[in-house]
DNA sequence: TAGTACCA
DNA sequence: CGCC
């Protein structure tokens, strides 16, 4: 149930897109990814202020944030290694919900401990916005907020539960969005609790 | 402007 | 809000 002003056109919530078995399989694959590409702590450009969320990536490009800025790069910021391959289940998801878009290049992995939050922001570090951003929620339920394409536009909030998929396409591609809070103990998927969010993106224009 | 505060 |  969405509370507040409706999200822009092109926003889609696909509740429980992944069933429990598929979620468990995805978590198993993510553990292998994170063993090779450990979670790191992103920092705000200029100020160096830490995010409460920890991050990693898989795919050919990964999003990183540090004192120097936000960017996509082919290697992990601390190990210097290439990002691990994107799990096939995620490529399959992209094909199913973003059929007209070129292959996804980046999968940002955000880990929210139960106290972590993400302020309202736009995903706009990509070089093209015609492909959607596709998100997968795993683990504890979160309160997600989405507004319009300006910071002052009215927002709405909704709960995202484990297995839910969100598609930010069309007008909603550049909508401000964020995570207000994670509800502790709301899922048994992750042994140590918290929430994993995956966001699949196309970064570079299709040639 | 991916931090914070606040959110009716 | 106050930051670059």
Q: List the A45 CA – C4 C1' distance (angstroms).
A: 9
CA-nearest of A201, A71, A69 to A136 is A201
Q: List the A121 CA – C3 C1' distance (angstroms).
A: 16
Say which DSSP state A141 is in.
-
Chain B bases having any atom below 7 Å from a protein CB: 1-7
Q: Which nucleotide is nearest to A42 (CA to C1')?
A: B2
Q: Is the CB of A152 under 7 A from strand C?
A: no
* DSSP-assigned letters across all residues of A113-133: -TT--EEEE----SS--SSPE
Provide the percentage of residues in chain A whose pLDDT is more than 90. Answer: 95
Q: Please state, in angstroms and rounded to a whole number, the distance separating the CA atoms of residues A13 and A11.
A: 7
Q: Is the CB of A41 under 7 A from strand B?
A: no
Protein residue closest via CA to C1' of B8: A4
Residue A130 in this model has a pLDDT that exceeds 80:
yes
Q: Is the CB of A48 under 7 A from strand C?
A: no
Confidence category of residue A36, pLDDT binned at 50, 70, 90: very high
Q: Is the CB of A46 under 7 A from strand C?
A: yes
pLDDT in tens, A59-113: 999 999 999 999 999 999 999 999 999 999 999 999 999 999 999 999 999 999 9
φ/ψ (deg, to 5) at A139: 95, -145
Domains of chain A: 3-201 (2.60.120.590)
* DSSP-assigned letters across all residues of A5-51: SPPPTTEEEETT-S-HHHHHHHHHHHHHHHHHS--B--B-TTT-PBP
Q: Which nucleotide is nearest to A44 (CA to C1')?
A: B3
Q: Is the CB of A113 under 7 A from strand B?
A: no
pLDDT in tens, A134-158: 999 999 999 999 999 999 899 999 9
């Amino acid at each position: 149930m969405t509370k507040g002003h409706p999200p822009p056109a092109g926003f889609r919530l696909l509740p429980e897109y992944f069933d429990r078995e598929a979620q468990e399989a995805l978590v198993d694959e993510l553990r292998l990814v994170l063993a090779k590409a450990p979670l790191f702590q992103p920092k705000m450009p200029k100020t160096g202020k830490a995010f409460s969320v920890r991050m990693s990536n898989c795919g050919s490009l990964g999003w990183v944030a540090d004192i120097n800025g936000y960017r996509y790069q082919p290697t992990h910021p601390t190990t210097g290694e290439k990002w691990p391959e994107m799990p096939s289940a995620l490529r399959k998801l992209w094909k199913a919900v973003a059929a007209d878009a070129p292959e996804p290049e980046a999968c940002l992995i955000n880990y929210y401990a139960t106290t972590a939050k993400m302020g309202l922001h736009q995903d706009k570090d990509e070089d093209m916005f015609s492909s959607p951003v596709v998100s997968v929620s795993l683990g504890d339920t979160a309160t997600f907020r989405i507004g319009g394409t300006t910071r002052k536009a009215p927002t709405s909030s909704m709960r995202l539960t484990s297995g839910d998929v969100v598609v930010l396409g069309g007008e909603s591609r550049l909508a401000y969005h964020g995570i207000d809070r994670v509800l502790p103990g709301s899922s048994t998927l992750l042994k140590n609790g918290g929430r994993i969010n995956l966001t699949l993106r196309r970064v570079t224009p299709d040639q």
